Amino acid sequence: MSGYVFVQINDPNALNGAFTYATGINNENQITGGYYDPGAVLHGFLLNNNTGSYQTIDDPKATKGTVVNDINNNHTQQLCGGYFDANGIEHGFVDNNGIFKTINDPKGVGGTVLNGINDIGQKVGTFIDSKGIDHGFLFSNGHFQTINYPKSTDTFAQAINDNGQIVGYFKSAAGFDWGFILNPVTGAFKKLDYPGSTDTYVYSISNKGVVAGAWTDSSGVDHGFVYNHGIFSTVDATGAASTAVWGINSHGNIVGIEYDASSDYHGFYGGTGLSDVRLKEDIVPLERLSNRLGLYRFRYKWSSQQYVGVMAQEVAETNPEAVVSGSDGYLRVDYGRLGLRMMTWDEWVAKRQTH
């Protein structure tokens, strides 16, 4: 299967139905992120991508906002992120089924944030020292280990998988940002530089070793990317002015942030042809195509955005070669094999008006 089906994520409590971003996704398709409410206060959220239900996450010690950056695959549902105190200083936290624990690197006098957590309970993040310099760190078995890319001015540790591989990015002495993968066995860094980019940021790594992030082109526009064992692929959310991929799971599903033409930002979920009727609501038949397939208007359970496309269960009856079952149990459709493209409702209406 090739390509992604993109779905916007906007927390229902968010300002103007936007100002939402998605940061992490686990193998159960639970998604973490953040949103600004109408009072411009930052809150974290947990989205159950299978039911469409949102849960606001606020650390009880927060006075100026909470961010949730990642979720692991354990049934204990461990989240990690940061909260801001009355002085605007950020503190790391772990949320273990509603029980919050603050985790601050002792060298982080300027603040600490947890960016990633794996199923073993290891955590990575960033702290700011007394000189205002950013350093990555690994927190494992109660001990902090500082992570600094050689000869960098700042280092940011963003994610860790179950194999102990750590990814992030660093700022060079020349002022450019580049990604890295840290080998837990050898301690060696591998620099990641998207070809032709001015900056490269690495935000996530799956248990299969697939990396996700963003790169900046010569015009200053950000694009998402997936790096699969030596091969870079650009990922641009449909209709977005810019894109960054902030999370990837072992199924290859991704989440992140996209900016629209008005500079408002939204979270997004990218699934490889996800078209299972069990994940859709408000389904309205539109027309029957010459190949007997039906086109429907619908929305995914976790989004208010309306789309036009097919139903995987129906396609499986007429064109089984275009349907596969993902490792998460949901059906996916290869629209290319059908000669079709899933569209937003507005795109579909506009296309019919021009014909």
pLDDT tens per residue, range 123-156 = 999 999 999 999 999 999 999 999 999 999 999 9
Q: Is the pLDDT of residue 122 over 90?
A: yes
Q: Which residues contact 32 (CB under 8 A, 6 or more apart)?
A: 22, 23, 24, 25, 44, 45, 46, 47, 57, 68, 69, 70, 71, 79, 81, 247
pLDDT at res. 75: 67
Residues 81, 163: one domain? yes
* Residue 3's pLDDT band (cuts 50, 70, 90): low
Residues 180, 312: one domain? no
pLDDT at res. 155: 98
- Regarding predicted confidence, which is higher, 97 or 79? 79
pLDDT at res. 145: 98
Which of 78, 77, 105, 109 shows the shortest CA–CA distance to 92? 105
- What's the angle, vertex CA 221, arms to CA 23 and CA 217, rounded to 5? 110
Q: Average pLDDT of 196-223? A: 97
Residue 273 Cα distances to 4, 25, 50, 62, 290, angstroms: 6, 17, 15, 39, 22
Of 77-81, 223-227, 280-284, 322-326, the one with minimum mean pLDDT is: 322-326
* Residue 76's pLDDT band (cuts 50, 70, 90): low
Last residue of a domain, one of 271, 294, 325: 271
Of 52-61, 122-131, 269-278, the one with minimum mean pLDDT is: 269-278
Residues 239, 309: one domain? no
Residues 42, 14: one domain? yes
Q: Is the pLDDT of residue 77 over 80?
A: no
Q: Which residues contact 52 (CB under 8 A, 6 or more apart)?
A: 281, 300, 301, 302, 303
Residues 163, 180: one domain? yes
- At 336, list the tokens: 């290319």
Residues 150, 261: one domain? yes
Residue 23 contacts residue 34 (beta carbons within 8 Å): yes
Last residue of a domain, one of 222, 252, 271: 271
* Residue 351's pLDDT band (cuts 50, 70, 90): confident
Residues 190, 146: one domain? yes
Last residue of a domain, one of 243, 271, 299: 271
pLDDT at res. 1: 35
Residues 120, 266: one domain? yes
Q: Is the dihedral of CA 230, 231, 234, 238 positive or negative?
A: negative
Residues 90, 172: one domain? yes
Residues 282, 267: one domain? no
Q: Average pLDDT of 89-102? A: 96
Residues 121, 75: one domain? yes
Residue 220 CA to residue 60 CA, distance in Å, equals 38
Q: For residue 257, give the CATH number of its domain.
A: 2.120.10.30
- Count structural domains, the chain: 2
pLDDT at res. 239: 87
* Residue 2's pLDDT band (cuts 50, 70, 90): very low
Residues 252, 284: one domain? no
Greatest mean pLDDT among 70-79, 210-219, 233-242: 210-219
Mean pLDDT across the chain: 93
Q: What pTM does this model have?
A: 0.86
Q: For residue 163, what are the domain limits?
A: 5-271
